[in-house]
Amino acid sequence: MVAGLAPEGPGEAAWLETGDLVVEVASKRVRDLTQMIRAAWGQGDAGVEIALTLLRAGEVMRVTV
């Protein structure tokens, strides 16, 4: 779950909101913070774009961060 966002950071630029639940990183299902971080790190160096699937208020959303 998104607990906070860095001002003017990539999450804010991708319209993430506090409370969003990340359920996939690069089309890979994640169930906890550890899986999410490992999946994100596995996408490449800092600055690489990463596709996320989120749940927000029961709606599925796809964004790129």
Does residue 3 lie within any of the structural domains?
Answer: no
The answer to whether position 5 is within a domain reads no
**In-domain check, residue 2:** no
Bridge partners of 55, per DSSP, are 21, 60
Sheet (strand 51-56) strand order:
28-29, 21-25, 51-56, 59-64
* pLDDT confidence of residue 46: 87
**What are the CA-CA distances from residue 59 to residues 15, 50, 55 (Å)?**
15, 20, 5
- Which CATH number does the domain housing residue 33 bear? 2.30.42.10
Query: Is 22 part of any domain?
Result: yes
2-47, pLDDT tens digit by residue? 999 999 999 999 999 999 999 999 999 999 999 999 999 999 998 8
21 in any annotated domain: yes
